[in-house]
Amino acid sequence: MQSTFRSIALIGVLTVFSALPAVAWDDVGHKITAYIAWQRMSQNARDNVIRILRAAPEDSNLAAFYMSYGPEPEATRKREYFEIVSTWADIVRDRDFETRYKKYHKGNWHYDDTFWKQVNGQVVVQPSPGEGGQAVERLVAFDKVIRDASASDEHKAIAIAWIMHIGGDIHQPLHTSARITDVEPKGDQGGNLFLLTPQGTPRPDQQNLHWFWDSIVARNFPLQGDECGRVYVEAAAARLMKRHPFQKMQGRLALGRYDEWQKQSFAYNNTDVFRADLKRFEPPSQQYRRNAYRVSEQQLALAGYRLGETMNAVFNFVPPPPAPRTR
C-alpha cells in the first residue's frame, strides 16, 4: 500500500497529466470518500457491512483484501478494508485476471452522462447519440439489493462494493457529462477527448481534462516522503471534513435519490468545469486549478456523507450473534 501511495505522490508533484481511460476519482479520492463515510457510520452499521463484505463470492477476490491479523488494531484494519472495497470496481479492470475481469468488470456502470451543448454560457440538453452509461440505474438496483431481506450476503457484498464506488464516481462532474461540440459531435467522453496539451502532441504524452479532475487530490495534497497510505488518507479526509463539515452539508444529502446526485454533479460542468478560461490544447490556469480543487473537495465530502448515511439507513441494526463453532 505504501508503494502505491508513493507512486501517487510522485504523480502529484508533476505538472503533466496522462491521457487515461475514464476511471473517475483515483484510488486516493475513493478512499477519502470511504473514510468519510466510515466516520458517519454507526458501530452496528460498520460491523454488519464488514461481515457482509467478507461473505463476498470467492471469485470476486473482494473478501481477500481483509487482513484478519497484523500490527494495526482490528478497528483500523476494518476501516482500511472498507476503503479498499471502494476501489474494487477499478481493481477488477485488470485483464490479467481474466475470469474476474469478465464476470465483474462493467465499464459503463461508472458514469451516467447527460449529453449537452454549451450555448452562450447556458446548458442545452441534447438527445443521446449513443449509450451514456448506467451509473444511476445500477445505484437504484443495488440499493434495492442491500434493502432486500431475502437477498444473500454474497449478493449484498457485491452491491455494497458497487454502491461505494459508483456513488463516489458520479460526484466527479465529468462522470455525468458528455459535451457535444463541432469537434466532438457524439460527445467528449467525459472530457477524455478535451486535450490540455498542444495539438499534435504524441498520444503517450497527451493530457486530458478528465484525468485532471480524477487525480486532483494527490496533486494538491501530495503524500510527504515515507508517509504511509493510511496516515495520508486520514489527513486528507480530515482536512476535507474540517472545511466541509457534515452539519453544513446534511441538507443536500437527498438519500436514495441517485438521479438528483447525478443532476447536482452535472451542474458543475457548465459553471466550473467548462469555464470561459479553459482552453483546448492549453494547461488550465492557476485560478482554474484552485477552483477545481475547491469543487472537488466539496464533492468528495458530500459523497462520503451521502454514502455513510446510506449505509446507516440500511445496516444500523444489532448484528446477529456468530454461529457456534463446531469441532
Q: State yes or no: pLDDT of 93 exceeds 90.
A: yes
Which residue, among 204, 202, 183, has the nearest Cα to 193 in the 3D structure? 183
Q: What is the pLDDT of residue 24?
A: 60
DSSP state letters, 63-130: GGG--SSSSS-HHHHHHHHHHHHTTHHHHTT-TTSHHHHHHH--GGGS--PEEEEEETTEEEE---SS
Which pLDDT band, with edges at 50, 70 and 90, does 15 fall under? Answer: very low
In the structure grid, which three cell numbers stand for residue 52, read together? 457482509
- Residue 24 region by backbone torsions, left for phi larger than 0, else alpha for psi between -120 and 50, else beta: left
* Interval 233-260: pLDDT, tens: 999 999 999 999 999 999 999 999 999 9
Cα–Cα dist 109/91, whole Å: 14
pLDDT at residue 12 above 50?
Answer: no
Q: Give the Cα separation of 211 and 292 in Å (integer).
A: 12
The pLDDT of residue 324: 76
The predicted model scores a pTM of 0.90
pLDDT, tens only, 207-226: 999 999 998 998 888 887 77
DSSP-derived 3-state class of residue 195:
strand
Model pLDDT, residue 308: 98
Q: Which residue has the higher pLDDT, 62 or 15?
A: 62
In order, the DSSP letters of 23-72 are --S-HHHHHHHHHHHHHHS-HHHHHHHHHHHTTS-GGGT-GGG--SSSSS
Q: Given pLDDT bands bounded at 50, 70 and 90, which one contains residue 8? A: very low
Query: In this predicted structure, what is the pLDDT of residue 327?
Result: 63
In this prediction, residues 307-318 reach a mean pLDDT of 96
pLDDT at 321: 78
When the candidates are 1.10.575.10, 3.10.450.50, 2.102.10.10, 3.40.228.10, the CATH number that belongs to 2-315 is 1.10.575.10
Residues with Cβ < 8 Å from 304, sequence gap 6 or more?
32, 33, 34, 35, 36, 37, 39, 40, 237, 240, 241
Please check the confidence at residue 20 and state whether its pLDDT lies above 50.
no
Q: How confident is the model at residue 21 (pLDDT cuts 50, 70, 90)?
A: very low
Return the closest-CA partner of residue 214 out of 165, 266, 174: 174
The pLDDT tens digits of the residues spanning 163-183 come to 999 999 999 999 999 999 999
Confidence of residue 89 (pLDDT cuts 50, 70, 90): very high
End-to-end CA distance of the chain: 37
Measure the CA–CA gap between 158 and 164, rounded to whole angstroms: 10
Q: Stretch 262-275: mean pLDDT, rounded?
A: 98
Which amino acid makes up residue 154?
A: E
Banded pLDDT at 14 (limits 50, 70, 90): very low
CB 170 within 8 A of CB 302: no
Alpha carbon distance 166, 228 (integer Å): 26
* pLDDT tens-digit series, residues 28-82: 999 999 999 999 999 999 999 999 999 999 999 999 999 998 899 999 999 999 9
